[in-house]
A and B are shown apart, each in its own frame.
Chain A
Amino acid sequence: MRTKKCLTLAAALFCALPLVAHHSVSAEFNADKVITLKGVVSKVDWVNPHIFIYVDVKDESGKVTTWRLQSLPPMFFKNSGLTKAKLLDGVEATVTAFPAKDGTDDFGFLLKLSYPDGHFYDLGNGAAGPPPPGK
């Protein structure tokens, strides 16, 4: 399975890059579909093998749903300046993510947090793409 992936050019390059994580993203998340949410980060679990970021998303009726988003291993963030405190700034962000493959509600793989003042945290290596116009 993994061998087959490494035979393609892009995958060969990617397999050769020194990254560390755990299982494959594709073992849990649908990398062919990007969902977009608007919400406030309400909790961060700074743990191995991946940090988890919780985003409170309010629907039109005011009901709040907390999304649980897997992200990258904590050591990836070394010297990045991005901390738990910065993530918990209380500002509403536009959030993109891959949804869970197993059908679990409100669970995904975080790609990017974008804020109204223009700053962003792109943790999906560009997979999120630019935020949709008007969002």
Chain B
Amino acid sequence: MKFRRSVQALGAAGFGLAAISMVPANVFGQAPNYGPPATSYAVEAARYPDAAKKPTPHMPDGHPDLTGVWHHFFGGIIGKVGDNSVALNFGLSVPHSTAGGAPVFQQKPDPMPEYKAQYMAKVKALDENQVKEDHTLHCMPAGVPRLGPPQEIVQTPKQLVVLYADLTGNHWRVIPIDGHHNADPEAEATYNGDSVAHWDGDTLVVDVTKLTDDTWLGDNGLFHSTKLHVTERLRRVGDTIQYSMTADDPVVLEKPWTITRTLTLQPDTLGEMPPCVDNDAGHYVNLEHHDNAR
């Protein structure tokens, strides 16, 4: 929400590289609420500009091969200075166009889910108290779908293994293809739910149920019920994946909510995330916070 407003402000004013350089030196002092749009996707796309034009590899069974490292949660915005020094450099996080050097905000802001009128106040209250109410800010798993699109995929003819190195730790899903839901019907709902996949032409469709309502759909108090049903679609185009996630929660949402991402095959490995340790609880003096877009 906040991010969208910020980006609109940027776009309306037509800021370019000069604007970025206007970020005050004491940014923590003047704007300590640093919130992230998900432009790490743009950074990753900029590393491999012709990725979508490459041939799409296929498995021996004829289906597209989704195997690869596709996305990193975030990283690499501390740059080297000389031989031995480093400095935090926000500019490293935003790719610049070759013509004019303007920042490239490839990612459009996500639409917001439409909640039923009786739940709007709850979303607002959770949003305003996110520091207290958002479990991920205390190192609990983000869960599906907030965890974001796959970061690494290992595909076999019968299953998809999806790996995530997240701020909240390392997470995984094993998704049977053309199989059936695995979870015991009487088992407790989980953070990543129970997934099963099937091919719809060249698109792999992943169906996720049994998701705990301990998680949110995203930042800003976007809670959901245990009736949440998530559908992910992955279509490989060259060395990119067109990914979409639709969250259908007939209890709290007015209509299904869909977001999309373009993932670009990455040349590096998915590193292990250090554990998440909540060292901050007890030191907050106000509720200021920002998004952690995934």
- Residues on A with C-beta less than 8 A from B7 are 16
Q: Is the CB of B35 within 8 A of A15?
A: yes
Q: Is the CB of A122 within 8 A of B88?
A: yes
- Residues on A with C-beta less than 8 A from B39 are 18
The count of chain A contact residues (Cβ–Cβ below 8 Å) is 66
The reply to whether the CB of A24 lies closer than 8 angstroms to some CB of chain B is: yes
Known: A27-B288, A47-B276, A124-B88. A19 touches B19 (CB 8 A): no
CA distance in complex: A22, B286 (Å)? 14
Residues from 73 to 114 in B contacting A, C-beta threshold 8 Å: 73-90, 93-94, 105
Per a CB cutoff under 8 Å, which of A5, A77, A127 touches B78? A77
Q: Is the CB of B73 within 8 A of A82?
A: no
| 1/0 contact string of B248-263 vs chain A (CB within 8 Å) | 0000000000000000
Q: Is the CB of B75 within 8 A of A122?
A: no
Residues from 48 to 99 in A contacting B, C-beta threshold 8 Å: 48-50, 52, 70, 72-82, 98
- Residues on B with C-beta less than 8 A from A25 are 28, 32, 34
Residue with the highest number of chain B CB atoms closer than 10 Å, among A10, A20, A24, A32? A20
Q: Is the CB of B35 within 8 A of A23?
A: no
CA distance in complex: A48, B282 (Å)? 17
Q: Is the CB of A17 within 8 A of B93?
A: yes
The reply to whether the CB of B22 lies closer than 8 angstroms to some CB of chain A is: yes
Known: A2-B290, A72-B78, A126-B25. A28 touches B283 (CB 8 A): yes
- Residues on B with C-beta less than 8 A from A47 are 274-277, 279
Per a CB cutoff under 8 Å, which of B22, B40, B78 touches A18? B40
The reply to whether the CB of B27 lies closer than 8 angstroms to some CB of chain A is: yes
Q: Is the CB of A31 within 8 A of B29?
A: yes
The reply to whether the CB of B215 lies closer than 8 angstroms to some CB of chain A is: no
Per a CB cutoff under 8 Å, which of A16, A32, A76, A81 touches B77? A76
The reply to whether the CB of B199 lies closer than 8 angstroms to some CB of chain A is: no
Q: Is the CB of B139 within 8 A of A79?
A: no
| 1/0 contact string of B19-38 vs chain A (CB within 8 Å) | 11011111111111111111
Q: Is the interface of B mostly helix, strand, loop or mixed?
A: loop
Q: Is the CB of B276 within 8 A of A27?
A: no
- Residues on B with C-beta less than 8 A from A104 are 283
Report the nearest A residue to B289, measured CB to CB: A23
CA distance in complex: A7, B5 (Å)? 8
Residue with the highest number of chain A CB atoms closer than 10 Å, among B28, B29, B105, B131? B28
Per a CB cutoff under 8 Å, which of A26, A74, A120 touches B32? A26
- Residues on A with C-beta less than 8 A from B33 are 1-2, 5-6, 11, 14-15, 24, 26
- Residues on A with C-beta less than 8 A from B273 are 48, 74-75
The reply to whether the CB of B63 lies closer than 8 angstroms to some CB of chain A is: no
| 1/0 contact string of A103-115 vs chain B (CB within 8 Å) | 0100101010000
Q: Is the CB of A122 within 8 A of B26?
A: no
Residue with the highest number of chain B CB atoms closer than 10 Å, among A9, A13, A26? A13
CA distance in complex: A62, B273 (Å)? 39
Residue numbers of A with Cβ under 8 A of B are 1-3, 5-28, 31-32, 45-50, 52, 70, 72-82, 98, 100-102, 104, 107, 109, 111, 119-127, 129
| Apart from A7-B5, A13-B19, A81-B86: 18 A-B pairs, beta carbons within 8 A | A3-B2, A18-B40, A19-B36, A20-B74, A23-B137, A24-B32, A75-B76, A79-B75, A82-B78, A100-B283, A101-B285, A102-B282, A119-B82, A121-B87, A122-B86, A123-B87, A125-B87, A125-B89
Residue numbers of B with Cβ under 8 A of A are 1-3, 5-7, 9-10, 15, 19-20, 22-40, 43, 72-90, 93-94, 105, 128, 131, 137, 139, 167-169, 271, 273-277, 279-280, 282-290, 292-293
Can you report 15 residue pairs joining A to B where beta carbons are below 8 Å apart?
Answer: A2-B290, A14-B27, A15-B2, A15-B35, A17-B23, A17-B90, A21-B290, A27-B131, A28-B283, A70-B280, A75-B167, A81-B80, A111-B28, A123-B86, A123-B88
